[in-house]
């Protein structure tokens, strides 16, 4: 559809010698005097209309309408081109299965309303993520379902000035679930193992890991915001080998979306899950109980911890790995407490 042509709302035939539009208005003169009626000429600016005519459409209005129409045309054309590429297979994925175009155009668009309107995520310290090169983001994990990782992914995608993408390391369970497995691969997630993480970091990607794992998202509500053990420090070893900075990340708000007041362990074993949560709404309300509570979130990226100054053999030093792991954990925990003190309400 072509852009609408803006036609000037004037006519040369209605202009006077000065180029101004004129409108003749006949006055009836004084009633009963017999005096001839006078003719008054009212001048209006060139190209304009009677200023008392509130129903007039200005050239700016028409230009704005044409711009909106053109923008809609471009969006429709872009959407059709996207569908054509998907149907013909004319798109690229990397060797991990990451589909950048699908992530940008579809997956992020689906998550964004939850991020912006429902959880109303506030992001701090995004400038601590480098503009280029590999970086390892280490975050706390909570919420019964791993929505915190997805919200962190949207935060990096939408707010980083260099338009960086976050590649999350996920647990084995993610890649055995139907549908979830395919979507996770398309969104850039990969298995939480040293080999995959190191390959991504060496390629200059921003990688996200949550070392608490299931111990973090499956902990009781009474232990909220208390970090669980960070494993054996494998993420530190990976960062040291790649020479990538470690960026601690603290997430507040996820703990309260599904307050876990119980764990049906027998049912969890039967289903092959690490835990089966019991919350104030689930399973009592059925599918409605799976709707998360609309808490207010804050995601803060801390100061990077540099690793490029260590020698190559440092990755094999257990004491160094323990110290760096403890440093990252303490920094995340300290920031969590600080954000909780600043928080006025769970929901507002």
For 8-31, what is each residue's pLDDT tens digit?
A: 434 444 344 334 433 433 334 433
Between 267 and 35, the more confident residue is: 267
Arithmetic mean of pLDDT, 246-270 = 95
Predicted TM-score (pTM) of this structure = 0.78
pLDDT band at 243 (very low <50, low <70, confident <90, very high): very high
Q: What tokens does 122 get?
A: 């506030």
Query: Burial code of 51-62, b = ≥16 C-beta within 10 A, e = fewer?
Result: eeeeeeeeeeee
Q: What is the pLDDT of residues 79-132, one digit of tens each?
A: 888 888 888 877 889 999 999 999 999 999 999 999 999 999 999 999 999 999
In a domain, residue 269? The reply is no
In a domain, residue 185? The reply is yes
Distance between CA atoms of residues 134 and 14, nearest Å: 68
Residue 18, φ and ψ in degrees, nearest 5:
-85, 0
Question: Percentage of the chain with pLDDT > 70?
Answer: 80
Q: Quick check: 96 and 188 in contact, CB under 8 A?
A: yes
Q: For the chain, first and last CA: distance in Å?
A: 45
In a domain, residue 202? The reply is yes
Structural domains of the chain, count? 1
Q: Quick check: 298 and 344 in contact, CB under 8 A?
A: no
In a domain, residue 68? The reply is no
Peptide bond into 283 cis (omega under 30): yes
Tell me what pLDDT residue 19 has: 40
Tell me what pLDDT residue 36 has: 43
In a domain, residue 41? The reply is no
In a domain, residue 95? The reply is no
Residue span of the structural domain in which 311 resides: 100-257+292-342
pLDDT band at 254 (very low <50, low <70, confident <90, very high): very high
In a domain, residue 10? The reply is no
Q: For residue 140, give the 3-state DSSP assignment.
A: coil
Peptide bond into 62 cis (omega under 30): no
Q: What tokens does 299 get?
A: 């995601």
CATH number at residue 206: 3.40.1130.10
pLDDT band at 233 (very low <50, low <70, confident <90, very high): confident
Q: For residue 198, give the 3-state DSSP assignment.
A: helix
Q: For residue 174, give the 3-state DSSP assignment.
A: helix
CA-based nearest residue to 211, from 245, 252, 239, 170: 170
In a domain, residue 60? The reply is no
Q: What is the pLDDT of residues 304-318, one digit of tens each?
A: 999 988 988 888 899
């Amino acid at each position: 559809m072509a852009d609408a042509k803006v036609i000037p709302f004037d006519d040369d035939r209605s202009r006077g010698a000065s180029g101004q539009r004129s409108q003749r208005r006949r006055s009836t003169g004084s009633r009963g005097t017999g005096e001839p009626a006078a003719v008054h000429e009212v001048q209006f600016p060139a190209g304009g209309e009677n200023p008392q005519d509130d129903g007039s459409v200005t050239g700016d209005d028409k230009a704005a309408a044409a711009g909106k129409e053109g923008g809609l045309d471009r969006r429709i054309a872009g959407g059709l081109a996207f569908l054509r590429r998907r149907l013909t297979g004319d798109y690229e994925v990397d060797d991990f299965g990451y589909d950048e175009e699908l992530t940008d155009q579809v997956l992020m668009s689906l998550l964004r309303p939850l991020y912006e309107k429902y959880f109303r995520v506030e992001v701090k310290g995004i400038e601590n993520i480098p503009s280029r090169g590999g970086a390892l983001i280490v975050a706390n994990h909570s919420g019964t379902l791993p929505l915190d990782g997805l919200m962190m992914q949207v935060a990096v995608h939408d707010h980083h000035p260099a338009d960086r993408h976050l590649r999350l390391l996920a647990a084995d369970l993610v890649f055995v679930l139907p549908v979830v497995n395919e979507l996770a691969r398309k969104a850039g997630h990969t298995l939480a193992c040293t080999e995959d993480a190191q390959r991504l970091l060496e390629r200059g990607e921003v990688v996200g890991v949550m070392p608490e794992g299931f111990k973090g998202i499956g902990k009781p509500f009474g232990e909220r915001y208390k970090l669980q053990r960070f494993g054996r420090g494998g993420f530190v070893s990976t960062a040291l080998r790649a020479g990538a900075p470690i960026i601690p990340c603290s997430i507040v708000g996820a703990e309260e979306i599904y307050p876990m007041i119980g764990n049906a362990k027998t049912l969890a074993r039967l289903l092959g899950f690490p835990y089966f949560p019991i919350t104030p709404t689930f399973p009592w309300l059925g599918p409605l109980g799976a709707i998360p509570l609309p808490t207010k979130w804050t995601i803060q990226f801390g100061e990077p911890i540099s690793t490029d100054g260590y020698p190559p053999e440092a990755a094999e030093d257990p004491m160094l790995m323990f110290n760096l792991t403890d440093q990252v954990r303490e920094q995340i925990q300290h920031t969590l407490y600080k954000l909780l003190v600043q928080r006025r309400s769970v929901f507002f």
